[in-house]
Structure formats: C-alpha cells, structure tokens
C-alpha cells in the first residue's frame, strides 16, 4: 500500500470513529421545545392547495378566501392577541408534490397546525407523516372517509360532509324523483369516486353503469359515450369542477340527455359557467347539494358578512361557492383556536375540536366527538334555474354507515359581530 | 451498419479474456494502476465522504436532512445514468420510468409483507434488492432493443417508456391504485439510537449508504476493463469491434447497470416518503435527469453529484422565490408551475456556452489554471 493511500485510510478511520460518537444529545432538548409555530404575537399554520394544475380552476380561490378571512381577524386584533399567519403551498393536485410541501411546512416552517389541506388523492399520502409528527391536521378539504379514523390518525379531522353521506342523500332524492329510472355513476378514479359510489349504492343498490376518469387525462369522451350507450337517465357525478364541465360538455356534444346530479365539490355554478363560457346553458337543470349558504342568496346574513370581507381583502377574485367555503372553514378554525384556550398547544387544539359544538354558517351540525372525526352531517339539494343556483326542499342528515337519511329542521345560526366568533 | 448490429459472428466479437464484470472484484490485475489499488483508494474515498456527510447530518435540521437524503437518492440515479450516456454514448430518456419501476417494486414488496403481518429490519434491504433486480430486468429488455437502435431512435423508444408510467398505473388501478398511489409502512430509526433520534437523519443515512455503494461500485467499474470497453464503444464501434470488444453485449450491460442504479435510486426515493404515486415520475423527471447530468458534467461521477444536488435544489426553488419576494398571486401561481423547468433550461444554456464540460469540467479547468499560475510564480 502506498503511503498516501495509507494516510487517507487512517484519516478516514479516525473520522469514522468520531462520527460513531453520536451528537444526538440535543435531540431530547429539541423535543421538549416550545409549541411549534406559536409565539406571543403569532400563530403560523400551513396548507397545501392546487394553485396550478387540473384542480386549480375553482379550488385555487379557496385559500385566497381563507387568507382574506384571517387578514380580517388580524385587523381586529387576532385570536387572543395573536395574529394568524397562513402559509399556502402549491401542490398542483399532484400527490407527490403534496408530500414535499407538507414536509417543508412541518419540518422547515414549523407550522402549529395544518388547515384545509385540499384533495383526496393528495392528502391521503401525507396522513402517516402527519401522524408521526403529531401535527393537528384540521378540516381537510375533501369528503373522504379517510379523515374520520381517530384510532389510526388521531390528529386528522374532516370538515365537509363525507362523500358517502352525500352519495346517500343524493341517491335518496333520485330514488324519490326518478323511481325505476336507470341511474349511473361517474366518478374520480380514487377514494373520492369510490366513497361516493359506496353511498349511492347503499341506497339504490348496484347502479346501471359506472365510469371513472383520472385527473391527468382530459379525455372523458369514451366514458361519457359508455354511459350514453348504457341508456342512463340519471348520472350521479363525483367529479372536481374541471371534470364536471368536461363531462357535461361531452354529454351535450354527444346528444346524451340525462339528469345530472353532481357532488357539491364539483358543482359550483360560478366556477362551472366560467369553465364552459358561452356553453354554460347546458348547466340548466343540474341538481347538486351543498351545506353552506348559497352565494346568490344575498339576503343571508352570512353571505352579507362574507361579502364585506371579500370586497375589502379579496376583491381580485370572484365571490363564488369556493370563496364561501374558504370563509366558512376559516371561521370554524378560529372557533377551534379560541376553544383551545389562551395558551394553545397541539394537544389542546385537537381536544377542542373533538369536543365540538361549533355552530357557524353551515346548515347542519358537525359530527365531531372523541370517536368521530367527520365534519358536517348533511346537505340540502339545489338546482340551476335561469342561470342561478338555489336551494329547494328540506335539509337532510345521515352518517357514512347504515343510519337512515332524515330531515333536519333546526334553523341555521346567525353570525356574530364582524363574523368573528367570540367563544 | 452491419458492423454495429449484434451478430452471431462469434469468431470476431467474442471478448478475449474473462467477463468484464469480473473486474469489479477486488484485486483484479488490470485494476491495479500506477497509484496502488483502485478499489482501496475508492473505498477510502467513500468512507471519507460518508463520514463527512454523517457528521453533517448530525448538525442539520430535519428538513435539511431530508434534502441530503433526496440528493443521495438522486445520486444513485444520476451516477448510473452518466455512465450510460457519458461513457457509453447511449441516450435514454426513460430513466424516470426506471426509477418508478424501482419505487413501485419497493412499495409492492413492503406492502406484501405488511399485509401478512411480517415485520423486520431486513424487509427494507430486501425490497431495495428486489427493486434493483426488477429494474435491471427492465433495463435488460430496453437494452436489448437499445443495442439495435441508435441516436434519436433510441431516445424515441425510451421516451415512450417514460410516458407509459402514468398510463400503466391508472390502467391497472387494482395493483397500483391509480394516481393516488401506494402507501407502505414508514421506515423508522432502530430503537438503539434513542427515542429522540431524528427520523429524517435515519433516512439520510439509508440514502447515503445506497449512494456510496453505487458510486463506489461504479467508480471501480469505469476504471476496469469494462469501463474502457464502454468508452471504446462510444468513441468508435468499428474500432472497438476490431479490438475484440463485443459491442452489443457491452451496450446491453451498460443499460442493465445503469437501470439497476436507477431502480435503487427510485426505491430509496420512495422509502423517503413511504409512498409512491405516478405524479412523482412524470416525463419532466426524465428530462430533468438528463439536464442534470449534462449540467453537472457528462460522464464523470463528480458531475453526477453536482447534478443530484441541482435536482433537489431546483425542487425547492419556486416556493423559495415566491416566498422571498412577495409576488402578485397571479404571477406567483404561474411561476410555481414552470419555474423549475425555466431555470433548468437557463442554467443548461449558460453552462453549455460557458463550460461545455459541465460544472465539474469548469471546476477542474479552474483548478488546473490556478495550479499553473502558482507554478509560474
């Protein structure tokens, strides 16, 4: 062996020995550190949102509204004297990007909690990580049943009604209005579509035909053609806005006339008519569901309050169902944060949500409890008529199991001053 | 073109001497250069580099450790890739797909054990080995086609492979779970490291081990007889054949080796997040990989390191930029989607104009110039 080689080898061995003495004594100290993301003046929370990509039309407006609501709250002194900092990261509705940005938010930006991470396929893949980091993962913007697994994911909570709850209620209406009709299902090729189909089939039994789409492929023509060939009279659709527009556009193009019954996540009239442009007339007669005040209902006190905030902090964006969604969810979060007390910790926040009892813009109560992490318990149907989307009929509630679909008659809450909760 | 087609004229192109891969073994006579044992020297270098990085990971915050881990995972890929493109002259645009093959193999193997309730530390190395084997097999198939194709035709075929990944994962939804992808149990640090051991540091170590092993093996490989065959085939196939090199076999082997490295890298990349989804391996990834090794310095393993660092740095660049400068939301949104590609393209143009040898070539030239100046004084 040459001397140089020997010298390098010796140095390497020495370094290896050094490295074997692990410098991890400071880890215990790090673990006992203060609550991440909370200072005397600030609370930093984060989210992943599709600001670009296939789900951006419509959904990119949600985080803008949430942010605007927090600006409004901050301008009135924040929550218990702390201003809310809302970090929005773009994941393009791509599950792989979601992993990156959520790790960055939690590990690098050290957020206190995640709020309203958007999407079923995207958020599903970060559940394990969120659990190991013990980050409160509040109000996931999706109706997948995945968020309602307190045993497996104790810090994750849903917010909107499950797709199964929605599917059951939509199917119940279809059963009443179209007895004996051929009912079909069109859905996203992931848990979103599958959960919806499960709810529909719980009420109607097996559907006449079912087709799926994937978000990376804009070709929905063949799937719609198959539904037409199956002679569907009613199509229940679990699709994001871009694909609702594509599917209904294709159906119109193929001369396929059926009653479209669309999940609320893909049925916002403002978003859809923007996508369809001068073809928006095909949306006439579309039936969908919702659980928040309708944006067109200008007499509603919540809509009035949210419109004021919108004009002040978010006027660059249109006020639509997505904006109302963002405002309402932010409102619930402020309620949860207040309930977590003057010195919030991650544990206190989770306990506060489990205790539940929040009332806000929603038409039905939340289902939160120690062993249920699901959000709103029901929906009301709406219909597009003469270019406006409006509610009709009663409000229904149910659960994602075998409970019956029942009418809910309690009147919705009225907003507090400035639409900022006080308790 | 007859000279380049793999033919059965065994008399001409049977390699003289033992299998080229035997040169990987320690103490191979041809590997002993004028500066002592190549393997020992590389081993010492690897231990040194590894130790430095391990020392570094002890000082880093979790997210930075995750970035180190990502660099190491990409290094497995870029190192193997640069051997194929730079040393053997075969252009593949499908290495993103090969990474996906490795990643999905790891996911499927780990899930298979998890579903049967089997647990153990050995599952990770086993699944990574399976990933290397599966990708090497895929590489063999593509390589056999590659040995019959040249230049743009080869690039076209491998490009098709790269575009197939999302399609396959959504067609066979039952196995691959479409765009939502597969989850498998997350890798946790062993108990003896203490309850507060950073999980990200453990991941960085796993990735580091894989990268060091890859680079060590490749460093020996390129200095062996097989490495010289690779270069000979790249420079002049006819001359190589006249010198007794089996051209087609060399090309196929280069593809297999390179694919195996990509599989290992893809597998490690999957382990870092305990998930795989087709969105992780889009067509752009294959193009990014090529740009990375070209910018880093084609054909040198040091260049591959530059490339891997660049790949990870550019992933975080858009959010960093939009966060640092509070841009109007419309512009920020447009940037988020395209900035990495634009910056990569820009760097590629600048590097190609200023330093055709890539970043590594530039560093070497600079060092040589400095040394010359010192000697002149």
B69-86 per-position pLDDT tens digit? 999 999 999 999 999 988
Question: Which residues 93-112 in chain A show a CB within 8 A of chain B?
Answer: 94-97, 99-101, 103-104, 107-108
Task: Identify the band that residue A14 occupies on the pLDDT scale cut at 50, 70 and 90.
Answer: low
Evaluate the CA torsion angle B124, B129, B130, B135 in order and state its sign. positive
Give the whole-number percent of chain B exceeding pLDDT 70. 84
Question: Which residues 184-203 in chain A show a CB within 8 A of chain B?
Answer: 189-191
Give the whole-number percent of chain A exceeding pLDDT 90. 61
pLDDT (tens digit per residue) in A294-310: 988 889 999 999 999 99
CA distance to A6, A142, B55, B59, B80, per residue, from B50 (Å): 18, 43, 9, 15, 19
Residue B4 pLDDT > 50, yes or no? no
Beta strands in A51-204 (DSSP E): 83-90, 113-115, 137-140, 156-158, 183-188
- Among residues B43, B42, B61, the alpha carbon closest in space to that of B204 is found at B61
How many other CB atoms sit within 10 Å of the CB of residue A301?
14
Cα B287 to Cα B341: distance, rounded to the nearest angstrom: 10
Q: Residue B229, Cα to own-chain centre: how many angstroms?
A: 21
What's the mean pLDDT in B170-191? 84
pLDDT (tens digit per residue) in A101-138: 999 999 988 999 999 999 988 998 899 899 988 999 99
Q: Hey, are the CB atoms on B63 and A19 less than 8 Å from each other? A: no
How many other CB atoms sit within 10 Å of the CB of residue B210?
25
Q: Which of A28-32, A174-178, A293-297, B44-48 has the lowest mean pLDDT?
A: A28-32
Structure-token pair, residue A325 = 């969604």
Question: Which residues 276-295 in chain B show a CB within 8 A of chain A?
Answer: 277-281
Of A95, A214, A217, the CB nearest to B181: A95
Closest chain A residue to B336, measured at CA: A90
What distance in Å separates residue A66's CA from the closest CA in chain B?
14
Q: Are A159 and A141 in contact (CB under 8 A)?
A: yes
Interface A-B: count of C-beta contacts within 8 A: 151
Task: Identify the band that residue A19 occupies on the pLDDT scale cut at 50, 70 and 90.
Answer: low
Question: Which residues 40-99 in chain A show a CB within 8 A of chain B?
Answer: 51-53, 56, 60, 64, 89-90, 92, 94-97, 99
pLDDT of amino acid B11? 40
- Strand, coil or helix: B377: coil
pLDDT of amino acid B332? 57
pLDDT of amino acid B202? 92
Burial class (CB in 10 A: 0-12, 13-18, 19+), B199: middle
Structure-token pair, residue B308 = 């891997």
- DSSP string of B86-128? IIT----S-HHHHHHHHHHHHHHHHHHHHHTT---TTHHHHHH
pLDDT (tens digit per residue) in B290-337: 989 988 888 888 889 999 998 888 877 766 666 666 555 556 555 555
Q: Hey, are the CB atoms on B337 and A92 less than 8 Å from each other? A: yes
What torsion, rounded to 10 degrees, do the Cα atoms B287, B290, B292, B298 define?
A: -170
Number of H helices, E strands in chain A: 14, 13
CA distance to B8, B10, B89, B241, per residue, from B2 (Å): 12, 14, 19, 12
B135 interface with A at CB cutoff 8 Å = no
What distance in Å separates residue A28's CA from the closest CA in chain B?
6
What's the mean pLDDT in A336-340? 92
ipTM, 2 dp: 0.76
Q: Are B202 and B193 in contact (CB under 8 A)?
A: yes
How many other CB atoms sit within 10 Å of the CB of residue A23?
12
B15 vs A300, higher pLDDT? A300
Of B47, B54, B179, the CB nearest to A214: B179
Rg from Cα positions in chain A: 24
- Between β-strands A259-262 and A287-290, what pairing exists: parallel, antiparallel or unpaired? parallel
Cα A65 to Cα A56: distance, rounded to the nearest angstrom: 14
State chain A's mean pLDDT as an integer.
88
Task: Identify the band that residue B8 occupies on the pLDDT scale cut at 50, 70 and 90.
Answer: very low
What's the mean pLDDT in B189-207? 87
- DSSP string of B282-311? -HHHHHHHHHHHHHH-TT-HHHHHHHHHHH
pLDDT (tens digit per residue) in A66-110: 999 999 999 999 999 999 999 998 888 888 888 889 999 999 889
What's the mean pLDDT in A400-406? 85
The H or E element that residue A92 is part of is none
Q: Which residues is A216 bridged to in the sheet?
A: none
Buried residues in B218-229 as b, exposed as e (16+ CB within 10 A): bbbbbbbbbbbb
Residue A365 pLDDT > 70, yes or no? yes
Q: Hey, are the CB atoms on A124 and B183 less than 8 Å from each other? A: yes
Cα B279 to Cα B283: distance, rounded to the nearest angstrom: 9
Closest chain B residue to A29, measured at CA: B196
Cα B309 to Cα B99: distance, rounded to the nearest angstrom: 17
pLDDT of amino acid B257? 95
For chain B, what percentages of helix, strand and coil (3-state, to nearest 5) are there? 80, 0, 20
Q: Phi first, then psi: give them for residue A391, nearest 5 degrees.
A: -70, 150
Cα A85 to Cα A42: distance, rounded to the nearest angstrom: 7
Best probe of the A interface among B51, B114, B191, B283, by most A CBs < 10 A, is: B51
Task: Identify the band that residue B25 occupies on the pLDDT scale cut at 50, 70 and 90.
Answer: very low
Residue numbers in B near A316 (CB within 8 A): 329
What torsion, rounded to 10 degrees, do the Cα atoms A34, A39, A42, A43 define?
A: 10
The H or E element that residue A290 is part of is strand A287-290
Residue numbers in B near A120 (CB within 8 A): 180
Structure-token pair, residue B195 = 């309850």
Task: Identify the band that residue B3 occupies on the pLDDT scale cut at 50, 70 and 90.
Answer: very low
Task: Identify the band that residue B18 occupies on the pLDDT scale cut at 50, 70 and 90.
Answer: very low
Question: Which residues 318-337 in chain B show a CB within 8 A of chain A?
Answer: 319, 329, 332-334, 336-337
- Between β-strands B182-183 and B275-276, what pairing exists: parallel, antiparallel or unpaired? antiparallel
Residue B368 pLDDT > 60, yes or no? yes
Q: Hey, are the CB atoms on A1 and B37 less than 8 Å from each other? A: yes
């Amino acid at each position: 062996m040459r001397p140089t080689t020997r010298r390098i080898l010796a140095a390497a061995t020495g370094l290896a020995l050094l490295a074997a003495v692990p410098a991890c004594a400071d880890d215990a100290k790090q673990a006992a550190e203060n609550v991440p993301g909370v200072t005397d003046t600030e609370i930093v929370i984060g989210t992943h949102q599709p600001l670009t990509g296939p789900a951006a039309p419509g959904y990119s407006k949600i985080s803008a509204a949430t942010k605007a609501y927090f600006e409004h709250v901050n301008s009135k002194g924040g929550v218990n004297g702390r201003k809310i900092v809302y970090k929005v990261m773009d994941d393009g509705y791509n599950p792989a990007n979601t992993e990156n940005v959520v790790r960055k938010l939690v590990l690098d930006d050290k957020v206190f909690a995640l709020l309203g991470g958007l999407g079923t396929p995207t958020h599903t893949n970060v559940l394990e990580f969120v659990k190991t980091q013990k980050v409160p993962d509040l109000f996931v913007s999706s109706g997948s049943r995945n968020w309602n697994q307190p045993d497996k994911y104790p810090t994750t909570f849903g917010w909107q009604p499950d797709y199964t709850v929605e599917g059951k209620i939509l199917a119940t209406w279809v059963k009443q209005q179209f007895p004996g009709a051929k009912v079909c299902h069109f859905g996203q090729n992931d848990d979103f579509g599958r959960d919806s189909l499960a709810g529909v089939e719980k009420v109607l039994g097996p559907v006449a035909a079912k087709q799926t789409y994937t978000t990376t492929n804009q070709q929905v023509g063949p799937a719609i053609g198959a539904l037409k060939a199956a002679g569907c009279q009613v199509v229940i659709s679990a699709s994001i806005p871009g694909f609702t527009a594509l599917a209904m556009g294709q159906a119109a193009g193929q001369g396929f006339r059926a009653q479209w019954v669309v999940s609320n996540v893909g049925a916002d009239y403002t978003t859809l008519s923007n996508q369809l442009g001068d073809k928006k007339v095909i949306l006439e007669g579309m039936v969908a569901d919702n659980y928040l005040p309708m944006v067109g209902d200008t007499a509603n006190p919540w809509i009035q309050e949210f419109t004021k905030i919108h004009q002040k902090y978010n006027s660059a964006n249109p006020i639509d169902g997505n904006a109302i969604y963002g405002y309402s969810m932010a409102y619930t979060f402020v309620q949860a944060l207040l309930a977590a007390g003057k010195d919030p910790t991650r544990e206190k926040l989770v306990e506060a949500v489990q205790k539940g009892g929040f009332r806000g813009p929603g038409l039905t109560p939340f289902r939160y409890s120690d062993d249920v992490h699901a959000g709103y318990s029901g929906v009301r149907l709406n219909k597009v008529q003469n270019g406006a989307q409006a509610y009709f009929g009663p409000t229904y509630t149910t659960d994602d199991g075998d409970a019956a679909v029942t009418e809910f008659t309690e009147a919705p809450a009225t907003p507090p001053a400035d639409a900022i909760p006080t308790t | 073109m007859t000279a380049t087609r793999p033919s059965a004229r065994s008399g001409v192109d049977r390699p003289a001497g033992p299998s080229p891969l035997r040169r990987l073994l320690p103490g191979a006579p041809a590997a002993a250069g004028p500066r002592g044992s190549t393997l020992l020297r590389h081993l010492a270098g690897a231990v040194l580099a590894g130790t430095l990085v391990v020392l570094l990971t002890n000082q880093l915050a979790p997210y930075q450790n995750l970035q180190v881990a990502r660099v190491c995972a990409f290094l497995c890929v870029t190192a193997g890739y640069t051997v194929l493109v730079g040393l053997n002259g075969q252009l593949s645009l499908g290495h993103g797909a090969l990474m996906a093959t490795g990643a999905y193999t790891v996911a499927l193997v780990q899930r298979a054990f998890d579903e049967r309730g089997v647990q153990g530390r050995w599952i990770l190395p086993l699944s990574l080995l399976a990933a290397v084997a599966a990708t090497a097999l895929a590489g063999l198939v593509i390589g056999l086609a590659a040995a019959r194709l040249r230049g743009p035709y080869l690039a076209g075929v491998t490009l098709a492979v790269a575009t197939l990944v999302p399609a396959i994962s959504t067609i066979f939804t039952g196995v691959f779970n479409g765009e939502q992808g597969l989850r498998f149990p997350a890798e946790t640090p062993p108990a003896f490291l203490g309850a507060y051991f950073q999980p990200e540091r453990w991941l960085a170590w796993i990735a580091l081990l894989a990268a060091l092993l890859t680079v060590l093996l490749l460093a020996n490989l390129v200095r062996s007889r097989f490495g010289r065959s690779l270069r000979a085939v790249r420079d002049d196939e006819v001359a190589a054949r006249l010198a007794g090199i089996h051209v087609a076999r060399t090309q196929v082997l280069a593809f297999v080796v390179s694919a195996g490295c990509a599989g290992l890298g893809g597998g490690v990349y999957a382990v870092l997040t305990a998930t795989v989804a087709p969105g992780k391996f889009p067509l752009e990834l294959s193009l990014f990989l090529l740009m990375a090794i070209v910018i880093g310095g084609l054909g040198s393993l040091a260049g591959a390191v530059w490339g891997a660092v660049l790949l990870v740095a550019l992933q975080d660049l858009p959010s960093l930029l939009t966060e640092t400068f509070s841009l109007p939301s419309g512009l920020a949104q447009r940037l988020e989607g395209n900035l990495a590609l634009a910056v990569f393209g820009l760097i590629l143009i600048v590097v190609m104009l200023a330093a055709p040898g890539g970043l590594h070539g530039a560093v070497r030239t600079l060092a040589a110039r400095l040394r010359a100046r010192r000697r002149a004084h």
